[in-house]
A = this chain, B = another copy of it.
Amino acid sequence: MHLDDWLDFFRGIGSRLREEVSTLSGQPEARREIRRGAGGDTTTYIDQWAEGIILDQLHRLHARGESFTLVSEELGWKEFGKGGYHLLVDPIDGSLNAKKGVPFFSTSLALIEGRELSGTKLGFVVNLANGDEFWARQGAGAFFNGRRLQASHSERIEILAYEANSPANDVSAILPLLPYVSRTRCLGSTALDLCYTTCGFIDLFLIPGSSRCFDFAAGKLILEEAQGIITDSQGKDLGGLPIDLQYKTSLVASASRKIHQQALDALRRT
């Protein structure tokens, strides 16, 4: 299947999820705990619901003759025939927001050739709370609701966003940067943080602790296709990372080269 068809397929999944999610998010049913997912997090009903819709679409796609391997936070590895792309899926990125009702969560889908993140050919993220769509094709640019994105040239960190899986450790790690920023945000969906960083809505995004590839693979391509930068907190490129549900890395991302460097310098001084 051509990458344009994969994009249409991803957008179709996004529309299906978005149509139904508003009746579920924040409801007691959404929070019901189902099991522990392949990535280690607890799966709640709203995760299972999203995964069910995605699986249904993948089975239909496979029945039409397409082969691929699903790699999902919730389900682990699952082959649909032999060969083809790896499809890295986070059914709900921002699960806690979705189950509690905070209107900021997304679905993240990345299509990868081979087993390293540098092989990401297509990334798609949809904000399930408001319908914002972001996508990028390797070598063909990044798009926000259909409009081409270009990295901003901000000089000033008006908004530093971060995610903290372990608040007591991770929030301390951002303290050295705070004298340089006007405001902090902690919004709860890594995939969306990266997309809004690409737009320049967020000037600098940090995960001082750990993020896993299904959270950031699609957002990474979107940011990089708009000439933004993403590394770990040591400044190391992430393209060589394997697709692996257990592997964890810190993240530093910005649409501005100058701000990215300023962040790495401040983190190194600590």
Please list the residues of chain A having a beta carbon within 8 angstroms of any beta carbon in chain B: 26, 96, 100-104, 127, 129-130, 132, 158-160, 164-165, 167-168, 171-172, 174-175, 178-179, 181-188, 196, 199-202
Known interface pairs A127-B103, A168-B179; A184-B187 also in contact (CB < 8 Å)? no
Return 24 A-B CB contacts under 8 Å, by A number.
Answer: A96-B159, A96-B182, A100-B159, A100-B202, A101-B200, A101-B201, A102-B185, A103-B103, A103-B129, A103-B130, A103-B132, A129-B130, A130-B130, A164-B183, A167-B178, A167-B181, A167-B182, A171-B171, A171-B178, A171-B184, A172-B175, A185-B186, A185-B188, A187-B187
B130 touches A96 (CB 8 A): no
Q: Smallest Cβ distance from A188 to chain B, in angstroms?
A: 6
Query: Please, how many angstroms separate the alpha-carbon atoms of A104 and B181 in the complex?
Result: 19
Residue of B nearest to A177 (CB): B167
The answer to whether A167 and B160 have CB atoms under 8 Å apart is yes
Bound together, the chains give a CA A103 to CA B158 distance in angstroms of 16
Contacts of A26 in B (CB 8 A): 199, 201
Q: In the bound complex, what is the Cα–Cα distance between A104 and B127 (angstroms)?
A: 12
Question: What is the distance, in angstroms, from A103's C-beta to the closest C-beta of chain B?
Answer: 5
| Other A-B pairs beyond A102-B187, A167-B184, 17, CB < 8 Å | A26-B199, A96-B182, A101-B196, A101-B200, A101-B201, A102-B159, A103-B103, A104-B104, A129-B130, A160-B167, A167-B183, A168-B178, A171-B175, A171-B184, A186-B186, A186-B187, A187-B187
Cα(A103)–Cα(B186), bound, Å: 13
Q: Which of A103, A160, A179, A188 has most B Cβ within 10 Å?
A: A103
Chain B residues whose C-beta falls within 8 Å of the C-beta of A174 in the assembled complex: 171
Q: Give the Cβ gap from A152 to chain B, nearest Cβ, in Å.
A: 10
Residue of B nearest to A132 (CB): B103
Residue contact B181 to A96, C-beta cutoff 8 Å: no
Of A100, A127, A164, chain B has the most CB atoms within 10 Å of the CB of A100
A26 to chain B: closest residue by CB: B201
The residue from B101, B159, B185, B188 contacting A199, defined by CB atoms under 8 A apart: B101
